[in-house]
Amino acid sequence: MSFLDMPDWGHQFARSILTALREKDPYTYGHCLRVGRNARLLAQEAGYDEKQQTIIEFSALFHDIGKIGIPDSILLKPGKLSREEIEVMKKHPVQSAEMIRPFDSIGFFKSLLPGILYHHERVDGKGYPFCLSEKEIPTPAKIILIVDTFDAMTTSRPYRNGLNTEKALEEIIRCAGTQFDPDLAKLFVESFPQWNQYEEEITETFVSEHFKKSA
Ligand SMILES: [Fe+2]
């Protein structure tokens, strides 16, 4: 077994953490599953090997788990957040990474940290929490940002309706080079319509099957 291989309890670990997230906030749970699947597919399109795809998928599955620590009054607030509440929300990439860090003596878990920690950094340096730019941002984090933002735009929340696929893809292109890595944004927009045709809907069963398949 090599340094970056997932330990055989990796899937149980993911299910356990994601079950806690589902209890806290079912929307964020579903979001993490979709982002995990799409991050893997985009990594595949970008030419990453199987092992790297699994690392990117699991970084994406865990990217928002730190929201478990955000008070319900903020995380589940049905309206606009205040400036103070936005600052609390912005702590979640660090909080997500802190939940994985106790396992960083295991190569696989250590390799998840960059994707998790930097998934809100933008190529123009206006992201958070570290204001990194372009080459400073690891590719897994750039992949997660694109699929994460797309998912957030296309899902409906109690306070707003989601955009349709076409409009959301236009938005990804519009923000290529400022928010998103331009090459990855182009690849996503070209590839996404094909994924929808052959991927089944994400359900509990899909996840467990998917975990078995990638085991
Ligand atoms: Fe996030």
Q: Given this model, what pLDDT does residue 156 score?
A: 82
Q: 118: domain range?
A: 10-203
Q: Given this model, what pLDDT does residue 215 score?
A: 44
Q: Given this model, what pLDDT does residue 197 score?
A: 54
Distance 189 CA to ligand 1 centre (A): 21
Q: What average pLDDT does the structure give for the chain?
A: 90
In a domain, 209, yes or no: no
pLDDT in tens, 7-24: 988 888 998 999 999 999
Distance 63 CA to ligand 1 centre (A): 6
Distance 211 CA to ligand 1 centre (A): 22
In a domain, 156, yes or no: yes
pTM for the whole structure = 0.91
Dihedral (Cα; 22, 27, 31, 34), 10-degree rounding: 80
In a domain, 84, yes or no: yes
Burial class (CB in 10 A: 0-12, 13-18, 19+), 1: exposed
| Residue whose token pair is 């295991």 | 106
pLDDT in tens, 165-211: 999 999 999 999 999 999 999 999 999 998 865 445 554 444 545 55
Distance 180 CA to ligand 1 centre (A): 15
In a domain, 133, yes or no: yes
In a domain, 211, yes or no: no
| Structural domains of the chain, count | 1
- Residues lying with their CB under 5 A of ligand 1, a single-atom ion: 64
Domain of residue 186, CATH code? 1.10.3210.10
Q: What is the mean pLDDT of residues 100-119?
A: 97
In a domain, 83, yes or no: yes
Q: Given this model, what pLDDT does residue 179 score?
A: 98
